[in-house]
Each structure stands twice: as C-alpha cells, then as structure tokens.
A and B are shown apart, each in its own frame.
Chain A
Amino acid sequence: MCLGIPGEVVEVLSDRPDLAMVDVSGVRRAINIGLLTEDPPKAGEWVLVHVGFALSKIDEAEARSALEFLESLGQAYADELAALRESRIE
C-alpha cells in the first residue's frame, strides 16, 4: 500500500480530466490524476500510483527499475496487482 507502483499513462479521459487510463504491468485501469494538476501527465508518461491516485511523475528509466524491484518482492507486489485488478474507480 505504501509502495507506489509505476504505470504508463495510456490516455487522459477527455470527459474526466482528473482520470487517466494507466497501464500497470499489463493491468489497465482508471487512475485519478487530480494530485498532479500542477504538471498533468500526458499519454506516454509514467506515474507512481498509490491506492488509485497518481502521486508523482517519474521518467521511464525510473519506472523500469522500480518495476523490476517490485517484481523482485514477489507476493507483496502480486497482492497489490490483484487488488488493482479488482478496482473500478470513476
């Protein structure tokens, strides 16, 4: 819960500028980007996601190494992804 998980912004929803479709390890879900209004992420950019909210923008290299690290954690990351898979925020 405390560890942010990196995701790639696929699309910012035009009717809901506070939501973006984000791809996290192949799981594509709506994520709230309302905490990044000072520098809103665009499609193709990477964000760190915490409990449904993007908390910061990161570059792709950081995203890749963070993902590799999370994957090395095994179960803890699998649980987080499983939880994300159930999420349907709007």
Chain B
Amino acid sequence: MRFVDEYRDADKARALAARIAALCEPGRQYRFMEVCGGHTHTIYKHGLEDYLPETVTLVHGPGCPVCVIPMGRVDDAVHIARQSEVILTSFGDMMRVPGGEGSFFDAKANGADIRMVYSPLDALKLARQHPDRHVVFMAIGFETTAPSTAMTVLRAAAEGITNFSVFCNHVTIIPAIKAILDSPDLRLDGFLGPGHVSTVIGARPYEFIAAEYGKPLVVAGFEPLDLLQSIYLLLKQLSEGRAEVENQYRRVVPWDGNPVALRAVAEVMELRPYFEWRGLGFISHSALRVRDTYAAFDAERRFTVPGVRVADPKSCQCGEVLKGVLKPWECKVFGTACTPETPIGTCMVSPEGACAAYYNFGRFTRSRVKEATAR
C-alpha cells in the first residue's frame, strides 16, 4: 500500500483498485501480460502488484529490447569492433550486456574502439568527423527505435557518406506476442499493450489477438494510474464476455500509428525470415534487416560476422522470465550470482528488464518473495 501513500492521485487509485476488485469473479485466476519493459519498471517501482487482488497476476513479457539480444549477436558486434578501422557505436544500455566472450565494456577494455551514443545521428556525425574510419551503429530496439535507424540510413545515403553502416538487430513486437500466444506453457487472459511502440505501429496490428485468440488487449500508458485503468478495462471486457483492442493511451497513441515512421522503416528495412531471441529461440519474421537497396549501409554485408549461436549460461533463466513463466526472484541466481553490477542474464542489465526492475525496487513487493520462498 506504500504506493497509495506516495502517489499524488491516491484517491483515484484507491477507487480504481476497488472497481478492479469488484470485477473479479470469485475463485477465478486472472493472468495479464504487460508486454513492455517500461510497464514492468512502473509495476515494480510503484509496487502495483501489491495493490491488486491476489487473484490478478501480472506476467512480464519480452518487451525489453536489450534483454532479447542473443549472446551470439553481441559476439558478432564485438568481432566487427575488433577490425582496426571500425568505431562501434552503441546505446549505453547495451554496453554491459554479456555475450559469450564478454560485453562491449570488456571488449573496450581490451582495446576495441566502442563508443556510447545517444542517437544513431550521433554515430553518423562521428562518421563525418572520421572519414578514415568506418563507423558501425549497433542498432537495437523495437518499433520505437527502428524509424530512427532508418532515418539515419536515409540521411547517410542522401549525403553520400560511405564510411557508415548499421548492425541491424531491430525486432518487431507482434511476432513475439504471437509466439507467446502459441506457447503451450503459458495461459494468459489478456495483454497490456506497449505504449511507445504503439505510437509507431498504432493499435490496429493487435487486432488479431482479439479476433483469432479471443484475448483482450489494452494499449496502456506508463503511469501507475494508466496501468490500473488498463487492468480495469481488461477485466471489464472479460466480465462482459468481450475480447477487443482498446486504447487507454489515446492521448499519445493514434490508432494507425505514425505513417511517416512506418514508411521510413519499410523503405530501408525488410523482415528477416527468422531471428533468434534470447531465451525465446528462433521466431520467424520477427526482426528487420537492411534491404538490398541500402546494402552499402549494412554492417552484416560489409564485415563477415562469425554468426555463431551461443547458448545462454546454464544458470540463466532469462528465457523463462521473458516468457513470463518464471518471476525474476524464482531464478536460482537472482540477486546472488546475478546482480546489476555482475549480470549473468540480460534481464538484469537494462532498467527495463524484469530482473533489474525487481532487484532495484523489490522492497515494495517483499510479501511476494515470502510467498515464493515458502513454496
């Protein structure tokens, strides 16, 4: 209940909690997946789970872009970075992600020229400043960041820059949700749809979840009240026997997304036949690569990468956490061998990762740990 005391809209939150409780059928268990890592962060930070009836469980989904990069891709990027002419650029989030042969930070300590950038446009600027070097941008993220990468490639092409390329690891959210829906070990009653991914793709692409799988989805904002409101909307649909896509975050997310962004991505990138996700394995048509037309800006074509599949460490249970089968604290190395300072798995690295979020803010949900350890 700490969250209620701290939160400025305590009354609204309390009212919503009561309405949520009133909608729950006695004896029925509800499992909702929040797809987005930003939502996971809010849930732990504000202790939202403690605020829901015991019968409502929030299951964390795969929507943390750093978490789903497989170890082999980190090794491939490090391999590129070791070429003497290369400057590898990366978002800060990615620097500590462990590969089979260490992280970007480790590679940097061993002499590779790896630099943190805020934007792919900063990487492009570096290419302009160092015409004698080749600048590679480690492109990661869902549909929120893919348009930025695409726009940067378009800009590089327009300027005729020849010493810039992207190592494309962009993933798409819909196939991941579909893989989870098709996975036999998970029973879900509905989804909290990602907020900022949806500013790009809109709410329409989720319609198959309602139409073909009969599950409701509510696109949700990031604040505690947004999430409570969205959970209420999910329960309301279930209680009325409906399965629809609703948009709770209408103040930011248009139903059809951002068409300019979608066009830029479609111009520069195309779907890969399949891509490996850390913990989830190979998912078909789930990631983007650079189109032939822009081959000159594709690091995978300019450099031969080993492309070796590296199995996750045995102790790592990120796959189960990313699919929502395990809660972070149920992983055997959570908080002992695996911490944000010395992560074993990716979920502990990014602030959007479920393990990191739980590790940092877990104090709000101590009751749940007791529950888990008693089991």
Judging by beta carbons under 8 Å apart, are A36 and B260 in contact? yes
Q: In the bound complex, how far is the Cα of B41 from the Cα of A69, in angstroms? A: 11
Closest Cβ of chain B to A17, distance in Å, is 14
Judging by beta carbons under 8 Å apart, are B351 and A89 in contact? no
Judging by beta carbons under 8 Å apart, are B151 and A51 in contact? no
Closest Cβ of chain A to B185, distance in Å, is 26
Judging by beta carbons under 8 Å apart, are B145 and A56 in contact? no
Judging by beta carbons under 8 Å apart, are B351 and A73 in contact? yes
Count, A-B residue pairs, CB within 8 A: 126
Closest Cβ of chain A to B20, distance in Å, is 21
- Say which residue of A55, A62, A88 sits within 8 Å of B125 (CB atoms): A88
Q: Tell me whether A3 is interfacial, beta carbon within 8 Å.
A: yes
Judging by beta carbons under 8 Å apart, are A55 and B200 in contact? yes
Complex interface bits, A46-83 against B, C-beta within 8 A gives 1, otherwise 0: 00101111011011001001100100110110010001
Query: What residues on A are CB-neighbors of B119 within 8 Å?
Result: 32, 51-53, 87, 89
Closest Cβ of chain B to A36, distance in Å, is 7
Given contacts A1-B141, A62-B252, contact A73 B196 (CB under 8 A): no
Judging by beta carbons under 8 Å apart, are B118 and A86 in contact? yes
- Interface size of A by CB at 8 A reads 35
Query: What residues on B are CB-neighbors of A43 within 8 Å?
Result: none
Q: In the bound complex, how far is the Cα of B360 from the Cα of A79, in angstroms? A: 15
Task: Using CB atoms, name the residue of chain B closest to A37.
Answer: B260
Q: In the bound complex, how far is the Cα of B351 from the Cα of A75, in angstroms? A: 9
Q: In the bound complex, how far is the Cα of B141 from the Cα of A68, in angstroms? A: 24
Closest Cβ of chain B to A71, distance in Å, is 12
Query: What residues on B are CB-neighbors of A37 within 8 Å?
Result: 260
Query: What residues on A are CB-neighbors of B121 within 8 Å?
Result: 32, 52, 87, 89-90
Q: Tell me whether A10 is interfacial, beta carbon within 8 Å.
A: no
Q: In the bound complex, how far is the Cα of B196 from the Cα of A58, in angstroms? A: 12
Name B's A-contacting residues (CB within 8 A).
36-38, 41-42, 45, 63-66, 91-93, 116-122, 125, 141-142, 144-145, 147-148, 151, 196-197, 199-200, 222-223, 251-254, 258-261, 264, 351-352, 360
